[in-house]
Each structure stands twice: as C-alpha cells, then as structure tokens.
Amino acid sequence: MLNERQYIIIELLTKAPSPIRADEIAKIVVKSKRTIMRDLSSIKLFLESNNVGELMVSPDQQGYKIRIIDDQAYEEVMMKNINDEHIILYQLIMNDYVTIEQLADLLFVSRITASEKVGVIKETYSSVLNITVSHKGHYLAESNVTKCFLLSNLVETNPKYYLELARVTAEQYELLLSQLKHSKVIMDYFPNMSESQLANLFIASLLYINNGCEENEDFEYIYEACQLSYTPQAIKNLSLVSDYCVNTNLNLGIHQIEEILQKIEQENNIRFSNPELAKQLYHHLKRILCYPVFLKSKEIHNISNIKALYPFAFDLGIVFIDYMKKLYDYRITNSDLIGLYFTVGMESMMKKKPHILIYSHVNSIANINRQLIEASISNCKVEICDSLEQVQLEDFSLIVNSSSEALECNLPVFQTEYIFSETDLAKLKAMMENISIGYSLKTIFPKEYSFTYKVKENESWLEILAAICDRLEESLVISKEEAKRIIEREKSGNPLVINNYSVPHCISKRENFVICIYIHLDRPVMVETTSVSQVLLTMMNPNMNKSINIFKFLYRYLQEYQEPLSTVESYDEFIQFIEK
C-alpha cells in the first residue's frame, strides 16, 4: 500500500509535461532526496505489479516521469488503493460499530493491515473527527449532521460509486443539480452552500439511516421531480442539516472574528496591517462552516512549502481556530486554509521596502537594470547615481556596482557591468533577502547556546524538546512563557520539519528579537513521520520580518545544502554552510 506522499508524487509525475528531478520533488513535498528515491522505487514496483504504467527516467538520469499504459486499469487501481481510507470512513458512518475483522474481510487484507489502516485514519482525522473504540469495535462518535456532511464529502470524491449505492442514475443526478440550481426556496434552507454540495447532500441523505422521520414538501418536491425514491428518514437528514446551516449562518458574525484578531494581536504584540483580514475570514468561514469538508484536500498538497516560509501565519491560524472553538463552539475542519489567509494578512508586515543604489557611468544600462530590478523585486525602490559623493549610503540596503571601480564601503555590493540576466536577478534577490541575516549571523545563530543533546532510551520528541527548553530556560536564553509556547505549538501538530531538521518555534514578545539555536541530537528521533537529527529552535518577534525573514533563510539553505547538512554533528559544521 502506498502512502499519501507517494500518491502525490504519482499525481505530479503523471501530469508533468516534462521529467521532474528528484531534488525538485523533494522540495515540493518537503522531504529529503534520499526519501524521495525510496518513494520512487516503491512507485515503480506499484506500477509494474499492477501493470498500469511505467516510471520513466530521462536519458541523463536527471528527471522522472510516469507513462500510463492502460488508462482505465490505472483509474481502477488508483481508486481502489486510495479509497481504502474512504471505505473505512463509510463503514464508520453507516454502522454503530465496526470490528477489525469486518474491515479485514471487506478490504481483503490481513487483520494487522486493517488495524494499521484504522490507526492511520484515526491519527489523520484526530483534529476534526472523534473516532474511538470500545469492546464492541470502532465507532464514529459524531452527530447525525456531521455524519451526513462526511458522507456528502465521500459522494463528491467518487460520485459514480455512491450514485450506484443510492440507485441514482447519472441522468437523475444531472436533473437534481438543475432542480437545485433553479430553486430559490431550497437554497434558503441551506445558506452559503453551492448546488453541487447540496446535490451530494441529497444523495448522502438517501444513503444515511437514522432513527427519525419527517415531512417537508420542498425537499419531497425535489426528489419527486428527479424521480428519486426517498424515505421520511432522508427528509429528516436534510432537515437536521438545514437547521444546523441556518443557525450557523445566523450566529456567525464578523464582530466575533474582529474580537479574536484583537486578542491575537494583544497576546503576540503584533498588528495585522491588512484591514480586509476580518472580512476575508468571515466570508470564508460562512462557506466552510455551512458545508464542512473533513476529507484531505489535494489542491494544496504542497502546503508544506508555504508553511516552511511563513510558519507564524499558520501558527496564528491555529490559535484563531482554537479561539473560535472555545468562545463560540465552531469546529473549523481545515486549518491550512485559515493559515493561508493569515499568510496574506501578514504579508505587508513581513516585508521591508528594499532600497537599492545603482552606481554606473552608463546611464542607458543603469536605467534598463533599474526596470529589470523593479519588475523582479516587488515594492522595491531603485536609484541611479554616477558619483557616490552625491548620496547618503546609509539610506540604501545594497549597491549594484556597474562601474569598473572597486568599491570600499560597509554595504553589500553586487558587481555587474552588463544588463542583468535572469541568473543575475535571482542572485540579487537572494542577496537582498539575506542582507540583514548576513550582518547579524553570529547574533542570530549564537554558538554559546548550542549543544549536543544525548537522547535517552525510548525518549519521545516532546520529552526531548521539553528537556531542551528547560536547559535554555535555565541559561536565561528563553523565558518560561516562550518555552511554554514552543511546547504548546509542537503539541498542536503539523511540526515544522525541513529535511531532517526540526524547527520548533514560537512568537516572542521581545521587541527586535530573533534567535535560532542549533542543537545536535546524538541519535535520530521520529518527529511524526520524519527522522530528525538536528534541531533549530527559533524565536522571533514577527515585526523583525521587516528586515529579517529567518524562515525563508533557513528554508533556502536547508534545501540548497540538503545532502551535506544532513550529516553535520556540530555548530561549527552547521554554520560553515550558513556563512557561504
């Protein structure tokens, strides 16, 4: 059985117009190249054993692509393998209890494999679904409304399969979509829901069995217009979901969101500069609360890349969701989407307007380079001069020296006498992002607090992190509150791991503060599904991002020096790559 990451890689390589290198795949799914090579080996065996496709290697061995040799067989195999998870969820919805033996027979696997599959599902959905176990078997401890929504999610993933279960033809389903689209009355029952979501809900209501019965002429009319057989139980399901949607729409207010954003600002000593953030979150929440999606979203499978660049935004998204639950009992099922809103909301406070000086005696080339820089680096101010005596150098971040003179100054200098190439612009952009860090390298990455941690037998990652925080707290490097925040952030799930480096982090209230402490683990430990040997404990006040974006810096260097950095065992070995 392939894992979720391997399915993502199959999808990437199947749809890619040209071969993709292993290191590029590694960046997309945020794993080491070595892990990707093992994944590719498993994928090759999977394709060959099912006789559906071929993993092709480009002649120079630099890229991989998948060629499907039997489209229909491939679709059937992929659906069967991917939907083991969905089959288990369906059984949990439809039955009071499900035993491992029943699942093993249903999936044609061993009891051990069936138990492993259930374990993975429980862990995957632990934050949004209460899947528990008793002496009778596993069961879904959720309301009828939640079960109807989850079943509706499943219908959306594989309409053909569930339409057959409900004895609904494709033509009847298309008619159902049309009826719902043109029914103003029905849409009033289900505010903020699209007709396709509602159609899936009507199908799910036919499938789900409850103990209640109800009548509703409007719902009955839709079923009858599509020549669909229904029961009073199906009408009851729709009525329960309608009551939930109407109440949610009535109770949710933008003032609730504004109140929580203010709390987050006060607690973290920050200010969201996007005045539209509350309104954007409000409109998003209206949609996802009135039709929650519990299943994993494939559309944002590379979300880990964005998390690595903007972890504070996603951390604040988790805090926001916790407040929504605690204060108003709203259950938000996809924290990643909320994190994206906070990423956009924090974007302007995370940037400092770059100020670049082009020193040149050839005005035409200088003007072309200015246009190229301004087009490549957003929100950038560029000035041109032919004499450095005319300007105040301390006003600038960097000098582009387009003269033949050797410059002696305290500013970083980018040397070129020609029109910028794409490579030059990429180097300049990277140089701009690293300027502040380069000047403060030993302060941001202090050697005196770095150490090797001796991992005890059977010691968990959270126990190790707690011990690390205790030691740093005793050394007065971090405060008790910061240590607590780091532990709480790591407990909340989705830890930030780049290759085999764990980056536990928290927002610090200290003004103009940023620190990244290197700790080597004398033996690797599992952080969720990744083996980790190095720790970069990072704290920063988000306002420092105006001049220093430590996470972009770490992400780029951990990717650029991925192989050699995976084997370092000391601060000195680590810092030599950062200094390059």
- What pairing do the DSSP bridges indicate for beta strands 53-57 and 64-68? antiparallel
% of residues, the chain, pLDDT over 90: 48
Q: Which of 468, 358, 469, 345 is nearest to 413 (CA)?
A: 358
d(CA 207, CA 201): 10
What residue ranges define each of the domains in the chain, with the CATH number in brackets? Answer: 4-81 (1.10.10.10), 252-350 (1.10.1790), 355-433 (3.40.50.2300), 442-578 (3.40.930.10)
Helix (H) or strand (E) holding 54: strand 53-57
The rounded mean pLDDT for the chain is 87
- Give yes or no for a contact between 224 and 244, defined as CB atoms under 8 angstroms apart: no
Quote the tokens at residue 143. 């309301």
Residue type at 571 in one-letter notation: Y
Q: What is the pLDDT of residues 466-511, one digit of tens each?
A: 999 999 999 999 999 999 999 998 988 778 888 889 999 998 888 7
User: What pLDDT sits at residue 345?
Assistant: 65
Q: Is the pLDDT of residue 439 over 60?
A: no
Q: Please count the other Cβ atoms lying within 10 Å of the Cβ belonging to residue 493.
A: 12
CA-wise closest residue to 580 among 567, 570, 566, 565: 565
pLDDT tops 70 at residue 340: yes
pTM of this structure: 0.73
How far apart are alpha carbons 335 and 128 in whole angstroms?
10
* Statement: residue 417 has pLDDT above 80: yes
d(Cα 110, Cα 465) in Å, to the nearest integer?
Answer: 37
What is d(CA 269, CA 341) in angstroms, rounded to the nearest whole number?
A: 19
Model pLDDT for residues 232-284, shown as the tens digit of each residue: 999 999 999 999 999 999 999 999 999 999 999 888 878 887 888 999 999 99
Angle formed at CA 211 by CA 205 and CA 215, multiple of 5 degrees: 60
Mean pLDDT of 51-73: 85
CA distances from 306 to 6, 8, 170, 314 (A): 20, 17, 39, 9
Task: Quote the tokens at residue 448.
Answer: 């005196």
